[in-house]
Amino acid sequence: MTTLLASAAPTADFSHDVWWLWVLKAVGILVFLLVSVIMALWVERRGLGRMQTRLGPNVSGPLGLFQGIADALKLVLKEDINLKGADRFLYHLGPFIAAFASFMVYAVLPFGPEVSLFGRTTPLQLTDMPVAVLYILAVTSLGVYGLVLGGWSSNSTYPLLGAVRSSAQVISYELAMGLSLVSVFLVSGSMSTSQIVSSQTQLWWGLALLPAFVIYFISMVGEVNRLPFDLPEAEGELVAGHMTEYSSMKFAWYYLAEYINMFNVSGVATTLFLGGWRAPWPLSAVGDGVLNTGWWPVLWFVVKVWILMFVMIWIRGTLLRFRYDQFMKLGWKVLIPVALAWLVAVAVVQGVRQFTDTDLTTMLLWIAGAFLVLMVALLVWPEKKPEEQAPATAARPDIIAPTSDFDAFAGGYPVPPLPGQTLPPSPRRARREAAAAAAGAPSTTHKEGQDV
């Protein structure tokens, strides 16, 4: 590892950019994300079909390639439902915030080095700043407001539960994600994305800082609500989480934001841990690095992003959903403590390097191996079993003997009567009979305890 604490300023030079270049780059990013989402829909369905021994999409176009377009048209043409009891402003604002925040991350991710574009030399990056990674964390944190506002404004139980789970999930896993990124800041000496890519000329941080990369990868899967961390949208429990009461284009904005966020976290992982747009070894050594110049780096960047995307799809087809307690235990008791300890270790190593000329690469790699062993040990450590509990039927004073009157609310919540038990007369029936008697009209008779 040969990276030194360099200047925090970005290495990309935007001094020759003009307004139409900015517009062209921005439109290019939008087109790249939209086309990538359409392809991701096909890749995920086709890939999961192969993993689960089924065909997957094969009707819409050759090999089902137009399945993503069919899904988009279906969402656009569906009936747009507006809830009567919802907060109308926040109900429409939620999808907009989620989609808007998802499009903002790639503004600071470099696709490649400087190239000649219409006679002007410009980096393949929309913009950069000394605190570009903090900008990314801020934008991703803003996106969760779209989920929370969408669930809360729907005035419904299931969306609210999904929104609460979303906020808890983001808090739990953004802490571990942020801590894993701090070690990259320490060794690269900058929070500029272009500077971080430049610092990985000799060695990718995904290898030198392997525990941080593992922590980031786990956190990024949890951040985008993908299996096994899709608790905010657990179909078997919450129908569709915060999106339950949305349809047509409003649902499509959430759907689009979810897949774009997958590309966002994959792009950040590529930039900070996998060398960014730099070609992998041994391709980087071909022709004195000719594959790291011109438009070739765009290919390496896109390939790395899609590899991470496919790994997330692979995980969805392999693992089952966590229980909520397991999910929180992993975030708070495993990822955050290991990330903190690893950050301290990296800080100590960097401090030693400032006062000595010793190459501490080997030491850092040994420390990384020890932390990986620690993380695995924390994951497989058996949980303490609770003490044996008494049988559920023992010492239950609320159990009523048969053939006696039955109070359905004795335990604090309504339960049906057991055989031989009878429900007391309905209070509403008694009020109706009293009102009918006062009016001189005969009351309608029903079975004992029945209410209509």
- Sign of the alpha-carbon dihedral angle for 209, 178, 358, 195: positive
The pLDDT assigned to 4 comes to 40
The pLDDT assigned to 368 comes to 73
In a domain, 42, yes or no: no
The pLDDT assigned to 307 comes to 94
The pLDDT assigned to 448 comes to 45
pLDDT tens-digit map of 204-220: 888 888 889 999 999 98
In a domain, 405, yes or no: no
pLDDT tens-digit map of 217-249: 999 898 888 888 877 766 556 567 777 788 888
Tell me the two tokens of residue 50.
């192969």
pLDDT tens-digit map of 366-379: 777 777 777 777 66
Q: Whole-prediction pTM value? A: 0.77
The answer to whether residue 303 scores a pLDDT higher than 90 is yes
Q: Which domain holds residue 266?
A: 78-113+128-380
d(CA 233, CA 218): 18
**Cβ contacts of 56 within 8 Å, gap of 6 or more:** 45, 46, 47, 48, 49, 50, 64
The pLDDT assigned to 403 comes to 47
The pLDDT assigned to 388 comes to 47
412: DSSP letter: S
The pLDDT assigned to 451 comes to 45
**Cβ contacts of 94 within 8 Å, gap of 6 or more:** 145, 146, 147, 148, 149, 150, 151, 153, 242
Mean of pLDDT values over 345-367: 72
The DSSP bridge partners found for residue 120 are 117
In a domain, 440, yes or no: no
Q: Place 106 in a pLDDT band, splitting at 50, 70 and 90.
A: very high
CB atoms within 10 A of CB 39: 14
The answer to whether residue 444 scores a pLDDT higher than 60 is no
Number of domains in the chain: 1
The pLDDT assigned to 17 comes to 79
| Range name among 24-28, 383-387, 392-396 with the lowest pLDDT average | 392-396
The pLDDT assigned to 158 comes to 79
In a domain, 180, yes or no: yes
Choose between 4 and 236: higher pLDDT. 236
CB atoms within 10 A of CB 23: 10
d(CA 102, CA 256): 9
The answer to whether residue 396 scores a pLDDT higher than 50 is no
- In angstroms, the Cα distances linking 35 to 95, 136, 260, 299, 342 are 20, 22, 10, 15, 38
| Contacts within 8 Å (CB) and 24+ apart, 362-369 | 364/1, 364/208, 364/209, 365/208, 365/210, 367/342, 368/208, 368/209, 368/210, 368/211
The answer to whether residue 426 scores a pLDDT higher than 80 is no
SS3 for 405?
strand
The answer to whether residue 402 scores a pLDDT higher than 60 is no
Choose between 320 and 312: higher pLDDT. 312
The pLDDT assigned to 244 comes to 79
The DSSP bridge partners found for residue 116 are 121
The pLDDT assigned to 304 comes to 94
Q: Are the beta carbons of 252 and 245 closer than 8 angstroms?
A: no
Mean of pLDDT values over 396-425: 62
In a domain, 416, yes or no: no
Q: Are the beta carbons of 122 and 115 closer than 8 angstroms?
A: yes
Which of 163, 166, 186 has its CA nearest to residue 244?
A: 163
Highest mean pLDDT among 59-68, 127-136, 275-284: 127-136
Region for 7 from its dihedrals, namely left if φ exceeds 0, alpha if ψ lies in -120 to 50, beta otherwise: beta
Residue for token pair 């369905």: 45
The answer to whether residue 447 scores a pLDDT higher than 50 is no
**Cβ contacts of 248 within 8 Å, gap of 6 or more:** 75, 76, 77, 78, 79, 80, 81
Choose between 266 and 232: higher pLDDT. 266
The pLDDT assigned to 168 comes to 82
The DSSP bridge partners found for residue 115 are 122
Q: Place 267 in a pLDDT band, splitting at 50, 70 and 90.
A: very high
pLDDT tens-digit map of 124-134: 888 888 899 99
Mean of pLDDT values over 3-30: 75
Q: Place 386 in a pLDDT band, splitting at 50, 70 and 90.
A: low
d(CA 297, CA 110): 10
Q: Are the beta carbons of 254 and 77 closer than 8 angstroms?
A: no
d(CA 394, CA 390): 7
CA dihedral 72, 78, 83, 84 (to 10 degrees): 150
Average pLDDT, the chain: 80
The pLDDT assigned to 449 comes to 44
Q: Place 404 in a pLDDT band, splitting at 50, 70 and 90.
A: low
The answer to whether residue 393 scores a pLDDT higher than 70 is no
Mean of pLDDT values over 155-166: 81
In a domain, 163, yes or no: yes
In a domain, 418, yes or no: no
pLDDT tens-digit map of 79-96: 888 788 788 888 889 889
d(CA 373, CA 384): 21
pLDDT tens-digit map of 178-208: 899 998 988 888 889 989 998 888 888 888 8
In a domain, 428, yes or no: no
